[in-house]
Structures are given as structure tokens and as C-alpha cells.
Structure 1
Amino acid sequence: MKNGYHITDAHAHIFPDKIAEKATESISHFYDLPMQYHGKVAEMLENGAAAGIDSFLICSPATSVGQVHSINAFLASCAAAYPMCTAFGTLHPASETMEEDFRQLQELHLKGVKLHPDFQNFPIDDPAAYPMYDMIQESGLPILMHMGDARSDLSHPIRLKMVLRQFPRLRIIAAHLGGWGRWKDACKYLHADERLRFDTSSSLPFLPPEEVRKMIRHYGAENCFFGVDYPMWDYAEELERFFALQLTHTENAGILSENLTKWLNETA
């Protein structure tokens, strides 16, 4: 806890220890940004707890079809070993064994699906991904969707808007306040409802506090989750940035953990 609040990191990437440093180095090169940590589970738990993080939503997107089953097994093992962790599995829209992949994800009791269109190289609204969305929608599981990149439009907010029209019961967390580097477009095209939520990950270091406050209140503070995007950012620094927003006590309590807990329970 910090400042009297229970705190959940709603967006943490983890990797097996033997590949963690290589994986985070690859992410660092992709975004041309330094990484604060190495993506190891023990490191996340230690540094998070020291900063006041109580629980974690862990994930890892499959950048190739062949990674799906091993990543999901790894995430499930972490969630089983560490009760403070809730795991979202992964799928890949190019898989020719999507039904089998999704069945494995469900049998492992993973609580959602992490997708990263820019890493996985598919436009969010690609019709080839529709069978995957249909399966996820029917299950009721939520998607944690990477959103936004100033260098491409694969994860542009307008593409998510199109998917939400096609799949009226699909539940999605639009990461990075709806669009990293595309925040104005996110506010233009995306509006929270009972199935769409937003996390703050990889946004606070780039936006002035007044702009973040404006976006949170545009979406509704009750529809937003605190996310760090571990291992990219430092936990203590992200919490400092968050509290500098000077939101109300009710807004803080909701964003820092209560909103996510309630929403995930609704999808259970």
C-alpha cells in the first residue's frame, strides 16, 4: 500500500528468467526507450512491493504463433505460484490452431487475453482476426489491447472503434489511455461503456498532469486502471507521477485497484 491505498499494477509484462534480458532489450530497441527492469518475476515482485504495489496483472504477448502455448503455460505457473498475480494469456491472430490455443488458455484458468497489434503485426480491425475476437467475446474474457504508436496505424484508436462496432459484447482494456502517441485520436474516437476500459500505462511520463486529468475525466475515472508497463518504468516514479495528478480520494481508490477488481469480477 501507499498513501493508504491498495494498489494494483494493471499492466505488467513478465518473461522466463533465461530470456528476460533479451526480451526487454528487444522491446527497448523497438521503442527506442530505456527499460528500468529486466522483466523477471522476482524482480517485479520485489521492486513493486518496495514501492507499495500490492498486486499485479501479468501478461506477455506472443510475437509468433509458436510461442502461444509456452507463454500461456508460463503465465499460468506464475499466477499459481504468486497469489498477488492475475494472469492474462495470449493468442496470435495468424494461428491455424486458434480453437486449440484458446482452449488451452481457458484450461489454464487465465483471466483474459493480451494482444499487441504492433508486435504481432496485424491491424486491430483485420477481418482475419475476427474469428479470434468472436471466440473471446463468447467466453466473456477481456482483452488487454496495446493501443497506439506514432509510427504506424496498426493499433490506431479508430481501428478499435471499428472492432467494437462489429463485436458488441467484446470487453477490452485499451492500454496507454487508449493510444500511446495517439492520445488526441483516442479521446476523439473512444468512449467508455460497460465493456471498454483504459489503463494509464506508458502515458504519465509523456503527458503533463493536466492533460492526464482531462483524459481520465473524459473517459470517467471509474473506467480507468493504474498501469505501469513493467519493466519499462520505475514503480516508485510512476506512483509519484500518479499522485501528482491530485485526483480526488474516490478517483484514486478506484483507479489504483477498485475499478479493476470490480470489472474483472464482472467477467469471471
Structure 2
Amino acid sequence: MKNGYRITDSHAHIFPDKIAEKATNGISAFYHLPMEYHGRVSEMLENGRAAGVDRFLICSPATTVTQVHSINAFLASCEAAYPMCTAFGTLHPASENLEEDFEQLQKLHLHGVKLHPDFQRFPIDDPAAYPMYDMIQSAGLPILMHMGDARSDLSHPMRLAVILRQFPRLRIIAAHLGGWGRWKESQEILNADERIRFDTSSSLPFLSVEESVDLIHHFGAENCFFGVDYPMWSYPEELERFFALQLSDLENRGILSENLEQWLGLHV
């Protein structure tokens, strides 16, 4: 807990110890940003818990089709070992064995699907990804979707708006307040409803307090989740940035834990 609030990091990337530093260096090079941590589960738990984080939504997107099964097995093993972790698996829309991949994800009882269009190199609204969305929608699982990049439009908010129209029952967490580096477009294009939620990860370091509060209120505080984007940012500093927003007690309780717990049906 922190300041009397239960805390959930709704967006944490983890990797097996033997490849964690290499994977984290790759993320750093992609975004031209230094990483606070190294992507190891033990490091996440140690630093997150020390800062007051009680629960973690863990994920890791497959950048190639051959990674899907091993990543999902790893994530499931972490959830089994650490009860404070809730795991989202991964899929890759280019897989020729998509049904088999999804069957494995379901058998592992993973709680959702993490997709990163910019790493996986597909436009969100590419019709080739529609069979994947249809499977996820039919199963009622949510997607944690990376959103936004000023250098490309693969995960542009406009593309997400297309998918929301095409798949009326698809549940999506639009990461990074709907679009990293695309916050203006996100606010112009996206609106919360019962299917879409937003996390704060990798947004608070780039936005002013006023801009952050304006976005959260645009989407509705009840539709937002606190996220750190481990291993990118410091847990204490991200919590400090969040509390600097000076939201109401009700808004804090929701964003910091209760909204995600209710939306995913998690038992505390």
C-alpha cells in the first residue's frame, strides 16, 4: 500500500532471467530511452513491493510467431509462483497456427492478451489480424494493446477506433492513455465505454499535471488504471507523479486498484 491505497501496476513487462537484460536493452534502443530496471521478475517484485505496489499485471509480447508458446508458458509459471501477479498471454497475428496458440493460452488460464503492434509490426486494423480478434472476442478476454508512437501509425488511435467498430464485443485496455506520443489524437478520437479502458503507463513522465488530469477526466477516472510500464520507469517516481495529480480519494482508489479488479473480476 501507499498513502493508504492498495496499488496495482496494470502494465509490467517481464522476461526470463537469462534474456531479461538483452530484451530490456532492445526496448531501450527502440524508444531511445534509458530503462530504470532490467525486466527480471524478482527485480519487479522487490522494487515494486518496496514502493508500495501490491499486485502486478504481467505481460510480454511475442515479437516473432515462434515465441508465443514459450512466452505464454513463462507467464503462466510466474503467475503460479507469485500470487500477486496476474498474467496476460500473447499472440501473434502472423502465426499460421493461431487456433493452436490461442488454445494453449486458454489452457494456461491466462487472463487476457498483450499485443504490441509496433514491436510485432502490424497495423491494428489490418484485416489479417481479424481472425485473432474474433477468437479473443468470442472468448471474452481483454486485450492490453500498446497504443501510439509519434514515428509510425501502426497503433494510431484512429486504427483502434476502426477495430472497436468492427468488433463490438472486444474488450481493450488502450495503454499509455490511448496513445504514447499521440495523446492529442487519443483525446480527439477515443472515448470510454463498457469495452475500453485506459492505463497511465509511460504517460505521466511526458505530460504536465494539467494534461494528465484532463485526459483522465476525458476518459473518466472510473475507466483508467495506474500502470508503470516496468522495466521502463521507477516505481517510487511513478507513484510520486500520480499522487501529484491530486485526484479525489474516490478517483485514487479506482485508478490505483479497484477499477482493474472490477473490470477483470479479480478477487482481492
What TM-score do the two structures reach when normalised by structure 2? 0.99
Q: What CA deviation, in whole Å up to 9, does each residue of 1:98-127 have, x standing for no partner?
A: 000000000000000000000000000000
Report Cα offsets for 1:124-157 as digits up to 9, x if no partner.
Answer: 0000000000000000000000000000000000
**Equivalence for 1:14:** 14
Q: Equivalences for 1:193-204 in 2 at 5 Å?
A: 193-204=193-204
Give 1:98's aligned residue. 98
Structure 2 residue runs without a partner (length 5+): none
Partner of 2:82: 82
In the alignment, does 2:121 pair up with 1:121?
Answer: yes
Tell me how far apart the structure 1 counterparts of residues 57 and 218 of structure 2 sit (CA, whole Å): 24
Is it true that 1:65 corresponds to 2:73 in the alignment? Answer: no
CA apart distance, 1:164? 0.3
Give the match's secondary structure for 1:86.
strand
Spell out the pairing of 1:73-222 with structure 2 (5 A cutoff).
Answer: 73-222=73-222
Gapped runs of 5+ residues in structure 1?
none
Distance, in Å, in 2 between the alignment partners of 1:209 and 1:41 is: 30
Q: Distance in 1 between matches of 2:163 and 2:2?
A: 37
Whole-Å Cα distance in 2 between the matches of residues 109 and 78 of structure 1? 12
1:257 and 2:260 are equivalent in the alignment = no
| 3-state SS of 2:265 partner | helix
Matching residue of 1:237: 237
CA shift at 1:216, angstroms? 0.3
Question: How far 1:257 moved relative to its partner?
Answer: 0.2
Distance in 2 between residues matched to 1:221 and 1:110, nearest whole Å: 26
AA matched with 1:154: L
Q: Which amino acid aligns with 2:115?
A: L
Equivalent residues, number: 266
Per-residue CA deviation, residues 62-95 of structure 1 (Å, 9 max, x unaligned), is: 0000000000000000000000000000000000
The CA distance in 2 between the partners of 1:158 and 1:265, in whole Å, is 29
> What SS class does the counterpart of residue 11 from structure 1 fall into?
strand
Deviations 1:9-46 (A, max 9, x none): 00000000000000000000000000000000000000
One-letter identity of the residue aligned with 1:257: S
Between the aligned partners of 1:209 and 1:245, the Cα distance in structure 2 is 6
Q: Which amino acid aligns with 1:253?
A: R
RMSD (CA atoms): 0.6
CA distance in 2, matches of 1:265, 1:2: 23
Over residues 42-68 of structure 1, what are the superposed CA-to-partner deviations in whole Å (9 max), with x where a residue is unaligned?
A: 000000001000000000000000000
Residue 197 of structure 1: SS of its match in structure 2?
Answer: strand
1:106 and 1:14 mapped to 2: Cα distance? Answer: 20
Question: Hey, what does 2:248 align to over in structure 1?
Answer: 248
Partner of 1:30: 30
Query: 2:69 is aligned with what amino acid?
Result: H
Residue type of the partner of 2:215? M
Query: What secondary structure sits across from 1:143 in the alignment?
Result: strand
Q: Secondary structure at the match of 1:12?
A: strand
